[in-house]
Every structure is written in C-alpha cells, then in structure tokens.
Amino acid sequence: MTDATTIAVIAIFVFLLAGIIKGTVGIGMPTVSVGVLSQIIPPHTAIALVVFPLLASNLWQVIRTGAGLATLRRYGLLVGCLFVSLWATTFLTARVPADLLLGIIGVAMLIFSVTSLLGTQIMIADRHDRPAQAITGLAAGVLGGLTSIWALPLVTYLMGRKADSDEFVRAVGLFL
C-alpha cells in the first residue's frame, strides 16, 4: 500500500471507532478523530478531515433527537456566541503552528479528563445561566475553531446545569 492508501485506511478505522463512541455516548467523534489522526498526519489536515463526518453525524443526531425550536430558544445565547466565535476563530486556524494546535488539543483534553476523574463539577444556578451560556459559547467556539473539538466546554456546561440524558443529547446535537 502507498502512504496515502495507508493513511486512508487508518482514517477509515479511526472514523469508525469515533462513530461508535459518538453513537454510544452522543459525543466524542472529533475528539477521538483529531486526537488520533494528528498522530499520523498534520493537525490542520486532521481537523479538515473531521468537518464533513462531524456535520453529517450531528445533523442526523438533531433529526433523530428532535432538537428543535424549544431547544434553540433555551440555549439561543450559547448557540449565538458559539457561532460567532467559531466563525471568527476558524479564519485563524491555518495561521496557527501545528505544535500549538496539538498543545491546545492536549490541554483541553487534559483539563476535561482531570476534572472528570476528580469528580469536580461546577454547579450553574438559574441566575447565572445566561452568563454561563455566553462564556461557554465563546470558549467552545474558540476551541472548536482552532481544533474542531468544541464539545468539552459544552459538556461541562450541561453537566453544571444538571441536564437529563434526553436534554443532554438534544442540546449537544444542536450545539455541535
């Protein structure tokens, strides 16, 4: 096999694994895909490869879970901040050195992993929900624009709001 063929075969298996994780948990496809693929191809390429499978799987998740206008109204500020910061940051990605992208991915995953392992969980009271949505949307957009991994702040927010499993899947489908 040629190098390109080998990379394509590996990418297929990576996306299969990431799809199984997303199908099981509802999240994780870009985290797994970019994390693993960045070990064999440049991070910029890995991020670009994730875009279409991510859009397709998230569209299917939104359709399947029925995340509609009620979910959009509930999380509209978060979605708006996410969209604006994602759009603005995406233009910068090509100019960011590959080592910095890998570092950003690593730090984001490390923070999420450590806080999850330690059982550290923030609690977001109703009176703090709007500022938390804005901060979460901005953080997720910047992280997503640079790395295609924007679920970590979103999951933290939903856990802090004590979203039940159905609400979690609907919201994540809408956000992503």
> How is 133-144 classified by DSSP, letter by letter?
HHHHHHHHHHHH
**148-176: pLDDT as tens digits:** 777 888 888 998 999 888 888 778 777 76
What φ, ψ does residue 125 adopt, rounded to 5°?
A: -70, 160
Q: State the pLDDT at residue 1.
A: 53
pTM: 0.67
- Burial class, 121, CB count within 10 angstroms (exposed 0-12 / middle 13-18 / buried 19+): exposed
Cα–Cα dist 44/49, whole Å: 9
Which H, E and C letters describe 38-77, residue by residue?
CCCCCHHHHHHHHHHHHHHHHHHHHHHHCCCHHHHHHCHH
Beta-carbon contacts of 38 under 8 Å, excluding residues fewer than 6 positions away, are: 46, 101, 102, 105
Mean pLDDT for 139-147 is: 87
What φ, ψ does residue 108 adopt, rounded to 5°?
A: -60, -45
Band the pLDDT of 132: cuts 50, 70, 90. Answer: very high
Q: pLDDT at residue 40 above 80? A: yes
Q: What is the dihedral of CA 151, 78, 67, 87, to 10 degrees?
A: -70
Cα–Cα dist 90/101, whole Å: 12
Band the pLDDT of 20: cuts 50, 70, 90. Answer: confident
Q: What is the CA radius of gyration of the chain?
A: 16
**45-100: pLDDT as tens digits:** 887 788 777 777 767 766 776 667 778 889 999 999 998 998 888 888 778 888 88
